[in-house]
Structure 1
Amino acid sequence: MWSSSSVSLAAGRGSGSVRLISPTACTVATHVDSAIEYLMVKKDFQAALDTCERGLESLSSSGEQEDSWCLKHGELKTALTIVGIQALAELNQWRGVLTSVLQQFGEIEKIPAKIIQMCILLYVKVDERAVMKNAVCDWLHCSGNMSQSGFSTVAELYIRHILVPMGQTSEALEFLDCDVGRVAFTEEQRQAAQCLVDLQNEKNASLSNPNPEFVVVATTASVSQQDKLRQWLNSIMRLLHRGLSVASVRIRPFCRRRVFLALLLLYLLLVRVDPALPSAFPWLFRLHGLLKQTWNTMFGPYYRANARN
């Protein structure tokens, strides 16, 4: 899932910038290479996870105390943990990632910045931001972590991917104004984060209180559409009236009364009654039957007369 991190890590480790000075370091480095190969080349994620666990066990059992080894120990431990996180994610065992990391480092404040960043991205990916919220907050407020190179990135991820999406805008503003926020962000970064929080506040306000102007515009558009519909119906009625007037000479008085009654019902149904109401359905069926009977009475003889001619 985060194979790019493993590539950069492997590249940095293979560049020769740090010398491996002990047999234990060489053995653990071999585990790192094997785990990366299983993860990225062979796609055997379980084998990659098992290799990382063996490498971490070798590190924990090592008794070397030299300063140079302590530095290399931290680098190898971070490398194995990063590959192990990726393997767990690929195996869909992400729920145990934070617990596994805490087992390796003991306390949340002692976790390296790179691993904290990966944990944030993982739990954000699966939409479980609440799992990391308190942990990241504790990590950021640890004074010993402020000197790490990735401290600012962790703070940015905390604001952008945890607090703001969770709607914790007030807490985000407090973080920006506290001492930790001033250390983590430059002035430009603080302004960008402030704009992000303001946008989220506006979004929350629009969801809780709809814009009255929008409601008025929507109501006006609905009324305008109804007026247009009524004008169209009135035009149809006038056109129908003209047609019936022309044919009235051929209509008997009894049929004329039926036509008048049909027009009256049509007007009441379409203009005075909302056709969308369920109560209007029986009227529609009755009107359809009445109009069909009226049509047959009025124009049936005319068509039969033309057929005889």
Structure 2
Amino acid sequence: GSPPAAAMRSEPLVQAASLLEEATDLLVLHRDFAAAVERCEAGCDSLGPGTGPERCERLSEEVKCSLCVVGIQALAEMNRWREVLSWVLQYYHVPEHLPPKVLELCILLYSKVRDPQVMLEVGSSWLTDQTNKSLPEYGSLLELYLLHVLLPLGRFEGAEELVRGCDVFDSQQQLAFLGTICESRCQWAQQEEMHLAAEEQQDAATESVLGALSQKLLTMLTLLRRALRSMSSHFYLFPYKKMLLATFLLYLVVVRLDPASPTSLPFIYKLVQLFRQAWAAVFSPIHRPPIQD
């Protein structure tokens, strides 16, 4: 005869548990991360939507969560951490349904790779869900989200609102977290000030170098003007303009300015201005000889 209905319902669970064991061995013992991910995917697919008794449902969710945990670790080992969140959500569909352990791993992973922005909306959706607020892990996950997502991103007002609106924390815990947020805000402001000071110092150094180069160019062009004026009575038809332009271009080559570099733009702009001033001084109407280009 046909197998009992209970046995048929437990078959996917047994298969998924077997795949979980294989995936764990591949991850830990054999270090075959790609194969471990394949087993995890097969296990999650075999479970499908839960329609069995409550006990089977609970076991199924535990196995599914464990498969995702192993899969996350395997993806991270292959440096495929960017795929982790989308990979997990294909089995849980919305952030609110993520198991606490999976959410914890995702927060820690994206914090470690310095990309907490990925978890900003996901964590917020999970923490504002009424069903999740009754879970025993809610307080620890809120703290994790606060320390590894909101504060590193400078979301201080959102962090304060989250702490004040949390019923899980008592008044003493709330004060402690608000103190942590205040301290983090001060550190953030200090870092901003240091960053601005460093930028100002760099700008001052750039201006100093630019001034030295400008002075060098003016000295060179002054000497050139004297030489040209001393020769003007003998060589009226000499192409002064081309000579001065060639000297200017040679100077650009000597100082090795890189036109592709953004830092070279103010140098070139000021050198052009100085060139125009020197040109006007050299060939003023009083000393200007007849020039033929």
Alignment partner, residue 80 of structure 1: 67
Write the distance in 1 (CA, Å) between the matches of 2:106 and 2:185: 27
Alignment partner, residue 130 of structure 2: 143
Write the distance in 2 (CA, Å) between the matches of 1:201 and 1:22: 52
Residue 26 in structure 1 maps to residue 14 in structure 2: yes
Residue 188 in structure 1 maps to residue 172 in structure 2: yes
Give secondary structure in 1 for the equivalent of 2:135: coil
Residue 125 in structure 1 maps to residue 112 in structure 2: yes
Write the distance in 1 (CA, Å) between the matches of 2:68 and 2:30: 19
CA contact (8 A) 2:50 2:57 kept: no
Taking structure 1 as reference, are residues 34 and 203 closer, same or farther at Cα in structure 2, changes over 3 Å only? same
Taking structure 1 as reference, are residues 209 and 83 closer, same or farther at Cα in structure 2, changes over 3 Å only? closer
TM-score under structure 2 length normalisation? 0.60
Write the distance in 2 (CA, Å) between the matches of 1:278 and 1:130: 44
Write the distance in 2 (CA, Å) between the matches of 1:188 and 1:72: 37
Work out which of the two has the higher radius of gyration on C-alpha atoms and give 1 or 2.
1
Matched to 1:72, the amino acid is L
Following TM superposition, by how much is the alpha carbon of 1:102 offset from its aligned partner in structure 2, in angstroms?
A: 1.2
Taking structure 1 as reference, are residues 168 and 40 closer, same or farther at Cα in structure 2, changes over 3 Å only? same
CA contact (8 A) 2:20 2:40 kept: yes
Write the distance in 1 (CA, Å) between the matches of 2:146 and 2:51: 40
Write the distance in 1 (CA, Å) between the matches of 2:189 and 2:87: 40
Following TM superposition, by how much is the alpha carbon of 1:198 offset from its aligned partner in structure 2, in angstroms?
A: 1.2
Taking structure 1 as reference, are residues 64 and 135 closer, same or farther at Cα in structure 2, changes over 3 Å only? closer
Matched to 1:194, the amino acid is L
Matched to 2:160, the amino acid is L
Alignment partner, residue 54 of structure 1: 42
Taking structure 1 as reference, are residues 208 and 99 closer, same or farther at Cα in structure 2, changes over 3 Å only? closer
Following TM superposition, by how much is the alpha carbon of 1:278 offset from its aligned partner in structure 2, in angstroms?
A: 6.9
- Residue correspondence of structure 1 range 143-292 to structure 2 within 5 A: 143-178=130-165, 181-183=166-168, 185-208=169-192
Write the distance in 1 (CA, Å) between the matches of 2:72 and 2:172: 33
Write the distance in 2 (CA, Å) between the matches of 1:92 and 1:209: 35
Q: Structure 1: which 4+ aligned runs deviate by more than 6 Å?
A: none
- Percent identical across equivalent pairs? 33
Residue 112 in structure 1 maps to residue 96 in structure 2: no
Write the distance in 1 (CA, Å) between the matches of 2:80 and 2:172: 38
Write the distance in 1 (CA, Å) between the matches of 2:68 and 2:98: 10
TM-score under structure 1 length normalisation? 0.57
Alignment partner, residue 281 of structure 2: none
Write the distance in 2 (CA, Å) between the matches of 1:176 and 1:187: 10
Runs of at least 5 residues in structure 2 that lack an aligned partner in the other structure: 1-8, 195-210, 214-293
Deviations 1:142-201 (A, max 9, x none): 0000122211111001111111111111111111112xx232x23333222112111122
Matched to 1:50, the amino acid is E
Taking structure 1 as reference, are residues 167 and 63 closer, same or farther at Cα in structure 2, changes over 3 Å only? closer
Deviations 1:79-135 (A, max 9, x none): 111111111111111111111111101111111111111110111111111110011
Question: Aligned pair count?
Answer: 190
Write the distance in 2 (CA, Å) between the matches of 1:63 and 1:100: 19
Runs of at least 5 residues in structure 1 that lack an aligned partner in the other structure: 1-20, 211-276, 280-309
Following TM superposition, by how much is the alpha carbon of 1:204 offset from its aligned partner in structure 2, in angstroms?
A: 3.0
Write the distance in 1 (CA, Å) between the matches of 2:32 and 2:173: 41
Taking structure 1 as reference, are residues 207 and 81 closer, same or farther at Cα in structure 2, changes over 3 Å only? closer
Following TM superposition, by how much is the alpha carbon of 1:207 offset from its aligned partner in structure 2, in angstroms?
A: 3.9
Deviations 1:276-299 (A, max 9, x none): x979xxxxxxxxxxxxxxxxxxxx
Give secondary structure in 1 for the equivalent of 2:167: helix
Give secondary structure in 1 for the equivalent of 2:152: coil
